[in-house]
Amino acid sequence: MASKYGSKTRKLANSASTSTTTSSKKFLKTSADCQTSPASSSVKSKNHHQYFYSESPPVETEKLKENVTVTVRFRPLSPKEIRQGEEIAWYADGETVVRSEHNPSIAYAYDRVFGPTTTTRHVYDVAAQHVVNGAMEGINGTIFAYGVTSSGKTHTMHGDQRSPGIIPLAVKDAFSIIQEVPSIPLCKELQYYIGCLKVVNDLLNPAGQNLRIREDHQHLIDLAGSESSKAETTGVRRKEGAYINKSLLTLGTVISKLTEGRSTHIPYRDSKLTRLLQSSLSGHGRVSLICTVTPASSNTEETHNTLKFAHRAKCIEIQAAQNKIIDEKSLIKKYQSEIRLLKEELEQLKKGILIVPQLKVGGEDIVLLKQKLEDGQVKLQSRLEEEEEAKAALLSRIQRLTKLILVSTKSSQSSRFSHRPGPRRRHSFGEEELAYLPHKRRDLILDDENIDLYIAHDGTAENPDDISKEKKSRKNGLLNWLKIRKKDGSLGAGSDKSSVVKSNSTPSTPQADSVNLNAESRLSQSLLTERTNSAELSPVARHDRETPEDFSGQGTPLTSTKSIDQIDLLREQKKILSGEVALHSSALKRLSEEAAKNPKEQIHMEMRKLREEIRAKNEQIASLEKQIADTVAANYDKMDNSEMSQVKIADNRIIQEQLDQKIGEVETLQGEINSLKQQLSEALESRNVNQTFSNPQQHGRMQSISEGVEMKKENRSLVNTNEKLLLRAQTTEIEELKQKLAELTETKDQLEQRNKKLAEESSYAKGLASAAAVELKALSEEVFKLMNENEKLSTEITALKNAPTQRRSVVASRNGRRESQVKRQDQGLSTSELKKELVVSKERELAYESALQERDQREAELQRKVEESKQREAYLENELANMWVLVAKLKKSQGVESDISDSASQRTDNW
Ligand SMILES: Nc1ncnc2c1ncn2[C@@H]1O[C@H](COP(=O)(O)OP(=O)(O)OP(=O)(O)O)[C@@H](O)[C@H]1O
C-alpha cells in the first residue's frame, strides 16, 4: 500500500564503560568513497572489491568513528510482474554493487547488496545484528527500511511465520542475550512506528496513535518509503504520497547537508520524518539503513532514486557511544555530591580562598593555587564592578526621572510656593513609589535624596528641623504632588475632588499612605495624569500660565533645561504607555487563545474592552508624540546652539533606538507573515474552508480572527507589537483549524469505511438468509418424505407383527390338519411324508423370522434418520433465528428495513 512506511528503532542502555563499535572496519574505507560519483564508485567496486573490504586495521582515531551501515535488498519479480512481461532493470553485481541493466556504466557501491534469493535471516546477520549487539552493550541503535511501495520493507522488517523479519529476529536475539547474561543491568526499550500522512502511530501500542514528536535525546524513530507519483495515484493516496515525498525530500536534504560537512544548519525540523530521525542521524548511536528495491523495469526511476539516496546516506558519519544507566538513587547521590561540592566551593569563595581538593602543597601546586586564587578574585572583582555599574545606572535613571518630574512641575510649585518665604523644596519620590525597587537600592536613593534634593533655592542647605518636617511630607510622594497640582493648576479631573482637598490640606497624612495601589501603578498613574494634563494644555500655554518666574525669561539656561526635561518627561510617559500597551496586547493574545478554545461571550467582551483600552492608549501615545514635536519646535528658537545640538543628539539617539527596534520587529513580522501565508495556503489546499467555516463554533473563531485582524490594522501604524501578537494569535487559530480539519477528514474516512463494511455485511447476511431459507425448504420436504416413509414402515411393521398370529393360526390349523392326518395316517399315510412336511414348514418359519428381523432393523434405521432430520431442522431453525437477529441489527444500523422485510416476505412466500 502506498501509504505505508515501515519503521523500527530501539533504545537500550547499560552502565558499561565507554567503548565503540566492532563493525566499523569495513565501512571506514567506504566512507572515503562518498564524495565520488556513482560511476567512479562502480569502477572501483568492480575492479577493487578489496577497496570496500579492506582488512587493514583502522588507525586509533578512526576507531571511534563509523558510518551508517547501508545495505540494498532486491526482491524477486512477482508472478504478476512476470506475467506482465516486466524486465530486470537493476541487478546485484557481486556482493557490494548494484548495476543498471540498461546502462552498465551506472553502478553504486554499498556495504552489502542482497540478491533476490537472500533470506531475511542473512540480511539480519549482516545488517542488523551488530546494531542489536551494540544495543546490548549500551549503544543506541536504529534500523530502518527505506524503499518505494511494494519493494519489500514489510517483508524485511516484519516478515511472516515462515520467514520472520528483522524485528522478531532482533527481539529474539535481544532476549536470548538478556537470558544468557541475567546479571547485566539493562534498560531496554523497543519502539516501532509507522508514519502515514504526516501522522505517526506506535505499532507496538494500539493506544499510541497520532503521536506528537517531542524533543528528547532518548530519542523516537520513523521509517520511510518513497512514493511513486504515477498517474494512477489519486485523492488521499496522492496526498499521502506527496507528504511522503516531501519527508523524503527533507531527509535527502538533511543527509546531503550532513555529508557536506560545511553546513551549520541541518533542517531536521522541516518534516516529521527527519525530526524522528534526528537523534539517529546526528547522534551517537549505530544506524543501519536497509534500502529495499525492486528489479522491475516499471520502477526504474524510483529504484534509481532509492539507490542515489542510499549512496548519499553512506557518507553520514556517526560516533557510537555507550549510555550509562542512572537510576533514581544514583542520580540523587550524584546531585547530592554536586550540591555538597558547590556549597564547599561557595564557602571557600566567601572566605576568599579557593582550596583545590586533594592538592598536595608543593612548589608547583602553590603556584597553581595562587593562580586560582587570583582568578577567583578577578572574577569576584569583575562581578562586583558589574553590580556597581548596574546600581549606578539605576540610580542615575531614578535621579533623572526625579529631576524631570521636579523640573516639569516647577511652574505649579512656584505658584504654590510663591507666597511662602524661605527656601523652596523639590518634591521627590515617596517610599511607596520606590517600593518596587530592591531594598538596598531604595536606601541608596533615599540617602542620595538627603544629600541632593534638599537644597535651598538660593543654594543654602535647609536646617535639620525643616528637613525632618519635609521627610514627613515626602511620604506622600508623587501621588500627593499630583493631587496638589490638580488643585493648584485647576487641571485635575473634577471627579477626584476629595483627594485634592485631602492632599492639599494634609499633604503627609496617613490617609494618603493608605491608598491601596501598588507603587508601580501609582507611578504610572501619576505620570498619566500629568500626561493628560499636558494634553489638555499645550506646553507653550502651560508655560505661559504656570511658569511666570522660571520660564518667562527667554534664553535663560533654566528655560532651555526645562524644555529639554519637559521633552524627556513626555518621552518617559510615552515609554510607560507603550509598556502598558504591550501588557494589554499580551493579555489580549492570551484571551484570544482562550476564546479559540472556549468561545464565551464574556471573553469576547473582555477582549473588546482591552482593544478599546489599547486604542485609547495608542491615541494618547500619538498625542504625546505630537506634544513632543510641538515642544521641540516651540523651544528650538529659545535654545542656544549647544543646547539645540544636545537635544538633537538625544533625539537622534532615541530615533536610532526606535528605528533599530522597528527594524527588528518588522523582520520578525515579515517572517511570521511568510509562515502564515504558507500555512494558510496549505489549509486552503487541503480542505474546503467554506465547509468548515459553516460550523458555528469555527465561524465564531473566524470572527475573532477577523476582529483581531481589524484591531491589528488600526494599531499597525502606532504599535507594531500589537500586530505581532495578533499575528501569533491568528497563527494559533489557523493551526487549530487545520488540526480540526484533519480530524474531521479522518472521522469522515472512518465513517465511510464503516458504512462500506456494514453494507458488505448486510448483503452477505441477506445472501446467507436466502440460502438458509432454501435449505430449510429442502429439509422440510425431506422430513415430510421421511415421515411418509416412516408411516408406511410402521404400517408394514404392524402388519408383520400381526403375521405370527396368522402363522400361529395357520400352524394351528395345520396342526389340526396334521392331527387329522395322523389320524388318517393311522388310517394309512406314511411317516416319511409327514416328516418332510414338517421340515418345509420349519424352513418357512425361519425365513419369516429373518424377514421380521430385517424389518426391525430397517425400522430402527429409519427412526434414527428421523431423529437426525429433526436435529438438523432444529439447528437450521436456530441458525435462521441468529440470521434474523443479525439482519435486524443491520436493519437498525443502516435503515434498510424495507429491503429486508421485502426479502423476508419473499422467503415466506417461497416457503
Ligand atoms: N525478498 C523478498 N522475497 C520474496 N518476496 C518478497 C521479498 N520482498 C518482498 N516480497 C513480496 O513483495 C510484496 C511486497 O512486499 P512488501 O509488502 O513487504 O512491500 P512494502 O515495501 O512493505 O510495501 P508498502 O510500502 O506498500 O507497504 C509482498 O508480497 C512480499 O511478500
What is the ipTM for the molecules in this complex? 0.98
Interacting residues of 590 by C-beta distance below 8 A, sequence separation 6+? none
Residue-level pLDDT at 10: 29
Residue nearest to atom 23 of ligand 1 (CA): 150
- With pLDDT > 70 as the criterion, what percentage of the chain qualifies? 49
pLDDT beyond 60 at 421:
no
Task: Summarize the confidence of residues 564-583 as an average pLDDT.
Answer: 78
Instruction: Using the structure block, give the residue that is written with the C-alpha cell 438438523.
Output: 872
Whether residue 153 is annotated as binding a ligand: the answer is yes
Contacts with 544 (C-beta within 8 Å, 6 or more apart), sequence order:
none
Whether 263 shows a pLDDT value over 70: the answer reads no
261-265, 508-512, 591-595, 818-822 — most confident range: 591-595
pLDDT at position 711: 56
Please give the CATH architecture assigned to the domain spanning 9-318: 3-Layer(aba) Sandwich (3.40)
**Tens-place pLDDT, residues 739-779:** 888 888 888 888 888 888 888 877 777 777 777 777 777 77
Closest CA to 64 of 393, 346, 382, 320: 320
Is 152 a residue whose pLDDT tops 50? yes
What is the overall mean pLDDT for the chain? 64
d(CA 808, CA 471): 152
Q: What is the mean pLDDT of residues 616-628?
A: 87
pLDDT computed for residue 55 by the predictor: 29
Selected residue with higher pLDDT from 252 and 51: 252
Distance 153 CA to ligand 1 centre (A): 6
pLDDT at 553: 38
d(CA 523, CA 501): 20
**pLDDT interval class at 813 (50, 70, 90):** low
Give the pLDDT mean for 261-271.
Answer: 74
Contact 193, 202 (CB under 8 A): yes
Parallel, antiparallel, or unpaired for β 286-293 and 69-74?
parallel
Give me ligand 1 centre to Cα 81, in Å: 13
To test ligand 1's pocket by mutation, which of 72, 144, 154 has the most ligand atoms within 8 angstroms of CB?
Answer: 154
Residue scoring higher pLDDT (576 or 466)? 576
Is 731 annotated among the ligand-binding residues? no
Probe target for ligand 1 pocket from 150, 243, 248, 294, with the most ligand atoms within 8 Å of CB: 150
Q: Is 274 annotated as a binding residue?
A: no
Pairing of strands 69-74, 112-114: parallel
What contacts 362, CB < 8 A, 6 or more positions away? none
pLDDT at 516 over 50: no
**Whose CA is closest to atom 13 on ligand 1?**
150
Reading phi first (left if > 0) and then psi (alpha if -120 to 50, else beta), residue 125 is in: alpha
CB 60 within 8 A of CB 42: no
| 721, pLDDT greater than 50 | yes
Phi (first) and psi of residue 863, to 5 degrees: -65, -40
CA of 155 to the centre of ligand 1 (A): 5
For ligand 1, whether the C-beta of 225 sits within 6 Å is: yes
Our answer on whether the CB atom of 154 is closer than 6 Å to any ligand 1 atom is: yes
Calculate the CA 206 to chain-centre distance.
Answer: 18
User: Is the CB of 4 inside a 6 Å radius of any atom of ligand 1?
Assistant: yes
Report pLDDT for 117: 93
3-state secondary structure at position 539: helix
Residue nearest to atom 12 of ligand 1 (CA): 152
Q: How far is the CA of 250 from the centre of ligand 1 (A)?
A: 25
Confidence of residue 100 (pLDDT cuts 50, 70, 90): very high
Q: 377 pLDDT exceeds 80?
A: no
pLDDT for position 458? 40
Check pocket membership of 75 for ligand 1, CB cut-off 6 A: yes
Phi-psi region of 895 (alpha: psi -120 to 50; beta: other; left: phi over 0): left
Ligand 1 pocket check for 147: Cβ under 6 Å? yes
pLDDT of residue 365: 62
Percent of the chain with pLDDT over 90: 9
pLDDT of residue 806: 52
pLDDT of residue 763: 77
Give the model's pLDDT for residue 639.
53
Cell 534634593 belongs to: 453
Going by alpha carbons, the residue nearest to atom 16 of ligand 1 is 152
- pLDDT grade, residue 528 (50/70/90)? very low
Residue 562 assigned ligand-binding role: no
Asked whether residue 530 carries a pLDDT value surpassing 70, the answer given is no
CB of 299 sitting under 6 A from ligand 1:
no
pLDDT of residue 730: 77
Confidence at residue 363, expressed as pLDDT on a 0 to 100 scale: 58
Complete DSSP assignment for 160-211 = -SSSB-HHHHHHHHHHHHHHHSTTS--EEEEE-EEEETTEEEETT-TT--SP
Query: Which of these ranges, 5-14, 258-267, 395-404, 425-434, has the smallest mean pLDDT?
Result: 5-14
The candidate with the shortest Cα–Cα distance to 454, out of 424, 477, 431, 478, is: 424
